[in-house]
Amino acid sequence: MSEVPVVSIAIRAYRRAWLGGAIASVLGQTWRDLELVIYDDAGDLEDIAASFHDDRLRYVRAEEKTGTSGRFAAAVALCRGRYIGVLDDDDRYEPELVERLVSVLETNARAGAAVCRAVRDVEGVRTVEPAPGPPGRQTDLARKILIERWVVVPSMMLLRRAALDAAEALQPMPDGVAPDVFVNIRLALTGWDHVLIDDVLTVRGWHDEQLSRASSYHDTAVATFERLRIADPVLDRLRRMELARLLIVRASQYLLSNRRAEALADLRAARETDPAVKWFARRLLVLAARMPVLGVMAARAGREVRRRVRSVVS
């Protein structure tokens, strides 16, 4: 291995149950010129890292607790390679992932991210996830993220450091946001391409401890689109529409928990963000006592926002 590796893989570690499998999947790659950084945000996982006797592995205990995007940024800052992967501790790489994605980045000078497909693993039962797009360069990606929720998780990507630097210069990623959305949309806004290959090379763990099932999920989603800055006025309108939808969804969750003050604040914010949702916001408040219909109303509001978004860009 060269003194400074071509590839750096960082694992954002805070869950003991799956970490050993994630580490083994990186160290077992057919591409050998890499380093593996274990960024321990739990603070008590050193024994798992130490059980792997490989000089390519570096263990770093976090100095302070952060959220998902804080872990992402801190882990990336420790990486030295010109290509960077960030693996969730409950996911795993297939043995050829790094080799295949390095090839994409080496042969596509404007590729900021090489992307593969994934399989979902539910207690040993695997299901191939739908492809996020056709193989090759992904076009009009910023709009796809804002309209169609095109999101590829970091575990499915290898990123070019120069592209990450450009994204960070455009807007530094704050803590408390979804790093997949921030990384993907900032790369698109800075002109870097995403290139997808039609190979299933990531195994995604699917379980009750996933962040997407956490109680804070809606807070992270709202914060992501509140803090994202987009100069293009058409794209920024799409951002505001998506934010309004997310505020309504969170408001419905608040109402189901009898948190009327928080729900009212979100519904007012949604109305101010996008006037198209004014009727739905008012109806949700009127129907607050009729709990069974809240989910239907939130879904209806989301569909209306989506319909208006498509009318804007068509």
Helices and strands counted in the chain (H then E) = 12, 10
Residue 57 pairs in a beta bridge with 36
What span, in angstroms and rounded, lies between the C-alpha atoms of 253 and 218? 9
DSSP strand pairing (7-13 vs 34-40): parallel
Q: Which two tokens stand for residue 21?
A: 């499998």
Q: Is 44 exposed, middle or buried (0-12, 13-18, 19+ CB in 10 A)?
A: exposed
Strands (E), the chain: 7-13, 34-40, 57-61, 83-88, 91-93, 111-122, 125-128, 136-137, 157-160, 193-205
Q: Helix H segments across 37-117? A: 46-50, 68-77, 97-107
What span, in angstroms and rounded, lies between the C-alpha atoms of 161 and 192? 11
User: CA 187 → CA 184, 197, 311, distances in Å?
Assistant: 5, 18, 25
Least Cα distance to 75 among 189, 67, 102, 127 occurs for 67
- List per-block mean pLDDT (blocks of 10 residues) for the chain, which spans 314 residues: 85 86 97 96 90 96 87 94 95 98 97 97 90 94 91 94 97 94 96 97 78 71 96 95 90 82 88 76 55 53 56 52
- Delimit the domains of the chain by residue range: 7-208, 230-313
Q: At residue 42, what is the residue type? A: A
**What pLDDT is recorded for position 260?**
82
Q: Which two tokens stand for residue 31?
A: 């591409």
pLDDT, tens digit (0-9, with 9 covering 90-100), for 141-174:
999 999 988 889 999 999 999 999 999 999 999 9
**What pLDDT is recorded for position 292?**
47
Q: Strand, coil or helix: what is 276?
A: helix
Residue 136 pairs in a beta bridge with 196
Least Cα distance to 239 among 172, 188, 297, 176 occurs for 188
**What pLDDT is recorded for position 298?**
56
**What pLDDT is recorded for position 211?**
55
Q: Which two tokens stand for residue 114?
A: 């090489």
Given CATH 3.90.550.10, say whether it is the number of domain 7-208: yes
Q: What is the DSSP letter of 109?
A: T
φ, ψ of residue 94 to 5 degrees: the values are -75, 155
Q: Which two tokens stand for residue 145?
A: 């993220």
Helical packing angle, 141-148 and 179-189, nearest 10° = 150
- Do 36 and 26 meet the contact criterion of CB atoms below 8 Å apart? yes
pLDDT, tens digit (0-9, with 9 covering 90-100), for 39-91:
998 888 999 999 999 999 999 998 888 888 998 999 999 999 999 999 999 99
- Do 290 and 283 meet the contact criterion of CB atoms below 8 Å apart? no
- Alpha-carbon dihedral 62, 63, 65, 67, rounded to 10 degrees: -60
